[in-house]
Structure 1
Amino acid sequence: MTGRRGGTFVFTADPVFPPVSGADLRNWRTVLGAARLGPVTAVSLWGPPPGAAPTPPDDITLATLSDATAAAVFRRPAGGTAVDLTFPEGWRERLDALLAGGAPQRIVIEHLGLAPLLALPVLQGARRILDMHNVESDLLAASEPLWRRLLTRDAKTRAVRAVERAMIAAVDEVWLCSAIDAARLARLHPGVPPLRVVPNAVPSTWRDGALAGEPDARLRQDGPRLLFVGHLRYRPNIAAALFLARRLLPLLRRRLPGATLVLAGRAPHHRVRALAGPGVTLVEGPDDLGSLYAAADVAAVPLRVGGGTRIKVLEAMAAGLPVVATALAVEGLDLEPGRHVLIAERPESFVAAIERLWRDADFAARQRAEARAHVLGRFGAAVVDAAIAAGLAGPAGRPDKG
């Protein structure tokens, strides 16, 4: 397959279409935004077998650099850092074939493990953008146990920070999900290239979708249905699931005996699988998130570690579902506590917030409506596509490098 002549190439680790995870949703939005400027070729290190994925829109070409599995690509190479990927055999030949129609005008790279692409001469003349879904070195430092960081003298974090430094020095612009992450990156790497906040977008499913069930219909039950959606092998999401099932739910059921919990997402870790039982339902690889949101009463998001902005929060609010979350979980979304979201940190405060939403239907309805209006207005496709187009429209080459 040959890529489109000129235009934009978006390089990703995972295939962008159909989007499944939060990272996929952000990457697919980048592709759709870039398509407003001309042809786009989305290139992943691995992908589904030919014919297994739906056909994308006409202006978009999907390509993969290998027939490898995700597990093979994400297997850390010998001596590699925590973000390094394994480039499968034959990837360069496939890329050369894609570029036979002409070098791209613009490239977007979304994973630090794709750093080898920036060294290729054929991509030197393009406008080069690094889309950082998270500040990875900061996220890694926050998630590593303190004893391990002290024992290893923070070697893992320092190695990832070196990869970040090299990549940001090789690109024309860096995109981040929030102003908070932009400030973090500038603090960690003084002299970074121009930074642009390209927020996560509300998934297209909910731009014109129906709201979740109305509160009055739900009050006939004897307790709320809580929902947590996320990649269930990702460490922060595993911790959130354990908190919800083991600490929050038992406490909540003392107040509201009919309360239940649904954990939904891809590739559940064995510790998450073990949580399924009375009152806790596990939905692996859901095909239809809409039905899960429609059946839920509250989205509970007790994240303690992470960066960027959480698409799971945007998705829940756009679906009209009240959200109770830690302050970190809604960081960078410019939400007003008590108006758009209820903030809780400890199990007792989560219980109080959930019970308030459950018993006060008028308050819950106001929060649902205010939150939905906020995220559709601030994080709708038009807003995000405008930021993407502005970032792609700049020149190749950094002014500070002469």
Structure 2
Amino acid sequence: MPGEILFLAHRVPFPPDRGDKIRSHHLLKRLAEIAPVHVGCLAETDGDMAQESELAEIARSHFLARRAKPLPLAGIEALARGLPVSLTAFDHAGLRRWVAATLAERPIGTVFVFSGQMGQYVPADFGGRVVVDLCDVDSAKFEAYGKQGGPRAWIDRREGRLLAREEERLAHRAHCTLFVSKAEAALFRSRLRSPAGVRIEALRNGIDTTTFDPVAVAPHPELAAEPGPHLVFTGQMDYAPNVTAALRTAERLLPAIRRAHPGATFHVVGRAPVPQLRRLDGRNGIRVWGEVPDVRPFLVAADAVLAPLEIARGIQNKVLEAMAMARPVVLSPEAATGIDARDGEHFAVAAHDQALIDRALALLQDATAAATMGVAARRYVVEHQGWAAMLVPLSEIVGARGAEARRDAA
């Protein structure tokens, strides 16, 4: 037994309804099978706080508090202290006290840090194992934002620069640093100023293929009642890369698709759509649904799922979910990164607007080819991307493989 585990996450890992929470949810479930887990995390909404009973069922002890610090205040603190805003925004005095008490009172052998914002809670004098799941290289994402220009460019460049320092500090602090793909791990290693002694591993995202199964859900009735074709994009719709991708589709891809298919409708499905997206609802074949209780009815009703992201880090859960629902997916190379599927068989990859339009039109005009791609996509996900298979290395990473083997043999 590696001792008990302290799991720190920047968002409560329930419900698993967005990319980071899906990963943290399944990691937490697996860690709870390995050893008693104590969970410290933050909430952003009333819905997050309502998940405390779910958290209590899986955790030996837990701390859940509302992250109430306004972003402008976090920004001022970051400037005053020379820190990334990502750290000051997730700094919570109550959580710090709970972490200190838990480490003092419990036999914690491993601290598992989910997302770089939470590395600040690991005391310098903790002598056990530290595992840091950075998921993807956030500093590279902010650097990419900074290169786009605009009023936030200086802020994004600063965030990228300071986050890169924090990511490297955590990598040297950790027994192992995790990423969602080999490509993301390689990118991180290439950016290190001092790579010696740093252990970096890829622990890929999985997919719940029982929940995301096209036979388990009926198409959304409104989509089923309209001839379409229906094009669907899912995601957190105040997240900048998703906003950019949805606007790209609405403004640059959809008009050409509608010239060939006048009934084509583009459905933007996901919580917190920004005003720029909400204003498009009802115009020129665009529906902006906002938060929905379940994305699966939209996916199963889609003639194609689009993911033309221009900035994407790690593995896109939205792509895996659509593939598991046996939908043909048209996506950018950025959105395909980390998914070892084959272009033309499991999904359709295209880099530029016209190529994306051409791939989408080809699938819309050939229902047999679209269905064949969807079947192949689901088969790929079932065979290669299930969570159980993805998390096999976790026991060794937290130092529990020998203990589990002895327990299983007893």
Q: TM over 0.5, yes or no?
A: yes
For 2:166, the equivalent position in structure 1 comes to 163
Quick check: 2:212–2:321 contact (8 Å CA) kept in 1?
A: no
For 1:66, the equivalent position in structure 2 comes to 65
Cα pair distance change 1:291/1:61, threshold 3 Å: farther
Q: Distance in 1 between matches of 2:58 and 2:238?
A: 34
Q: Structure 1 stretch 197-206 or stretch 11-20: which is displaced more? A: 197-206
Q: Deviations over 1:241-299 (max 9, x none)?
A: 11111111111110001100111112222222222123211122221112121222211
Q: Match of 1:131, SS?
A: strand
Q: Match of 1:227, SS?
A: strand
Q: Distance in 2 between matches of 1:88 and 1:219?
A: 46
Q: Match of 1:45, SS?
A: strand
Q: CA deviation at 1:330?
A: 0.6
Q: Give the AA of the match of 1:290.
A: R
RMSD: 3.0
Q: Distance in 1 between matches of 2:301 and 2:61?
A: 34
For 2:134, the equivalent position in structure 1 comes to 132
Q: How does 1:49-198 map to 2 (within 5 A)?
A: 52-53=50-51, 55-56=54-55, 58-61=57-60, 63-69=62-68, 75-76=74-75, 77-79=77-79, 80-86=83-89, 87-99=91-103, 101-121=105-125, 124-145=126-147, 154-189=157-192, 190-191=195-196, 193-198=198-203
Q: CA deviation at 1:61?
A: 4.6
Q: CA deviation at 1:220?
A: 10
Matched, 1:210 2:215: yes
Q: Give the AA of the match of 2:139.
A: S
Matched, 1:311 2:317: yes
For 2:11, the equivalent position in structure 1 comes to 14
Q: How does 1:250-265 map to 2 (within 5 A)?
A: 250-265=255-270
Q: Structure 1 stretch 25-34 or stretch 83-92: which is displaced more? A: 83-92
Q: With structure 1 as the length reference, what TM-score do the two structures score? A: 0.86
Q: Distance in 2 between matches of 1:209 and 1:95?
A: 42
Quick check: 2:146–2:157 contact (8 Å CA) kept in 1?
A: no
Q: Distance in 1 between matches of 2:378 and 2:13?
A: 26
- By relative contact order (CA 8 Å, sep 6+), the higher-ranking structure is 1
Q: Distance in 2 between matches of 1:129 and 1:94?
A: 19
Q: Distance in 2 between matches of 1:229 and 1:244?
A: 12
Quick check: 2:6–2:111 contact (8 Å CA) kept in 1?
A: yes
Q: Give the AA of the match of 2:87.
A: D
Q: Deviations over 1:303-361 (max 9, x none)?
A: 11121110110011001111000111111111111001111223322222222222212
Q: Give the AA of the match of 2:370.
A: A
For 2:36, the equivalent position in structure 1 comes to 39
For 1:291, the equivalent position in structure 2 comes to 297
Q: Give the AA of the match of 1:108.
A: F
Q: Identify, as 1 or 2, the structure richer in helix.
A: 2
Q: Match of 2:127, SS?
A: coil
Cα pair distance change 1:356/1:8, threshold 3 Å: same
Q: Distance in 1 between matches of 2:112 and 2:208?
A: 20
Question: Unaligned regions of 5+ residues in structure 2, if any?
Answer: 402-410
Quick check: 1:200–1:384 contact (8 Å CA) kept in 2?
A: yes
Q: Give the AA of the match of 1:39.
A: P
Q: Give the AA of the match of 1:166.
A: R
Q: Structure 1 stretch 63-72 or stretch 163-172: which is displaced more? A: 63-72
Quick check: 2:43–2:65 contact (8 Å CA) kept in 1?
A: yes
Question: Unaligned regions of 5+ residues in structure 1, if any?
Answer: 396-402
Cα pair distance change 1:304/1:11, threshold 3 Å: same
Quick check: 1:201–1:381 contact (8 Å CA) kept in 2?
A: yes
Q: With structure 2 as the length reference, what TM-score do the two structures score? A: 0.85
Quick check: 2:177–2:200 contact (8 Å CA) kept in 1?
A: yes
Q: Structure 1 stretch 105-114 or stretch 323-332: which is displaced more? A: 105-114
Q: CA deviation at 1:62?
A: 6.7
Q: Deviations over 1:146-170 (max 9, x none)?
A: 5579979954432221111111111
The one of 232, 235, 259 aligned to 1:227: 232
Quick check: 1:73–1:88 contact (8 Å CA) kept in 2?
A: no
For 2:24, the equivalent position in structure 1 comes to 27
Q: Distance in 2 between matches of 1:323 and 1:232?
A: 19
Q: Distance in 2 between matches of 1:12 and 1:337?
A: 34
Q: Distance in 1 between matches of 2:124 and 2:107?
A: 11
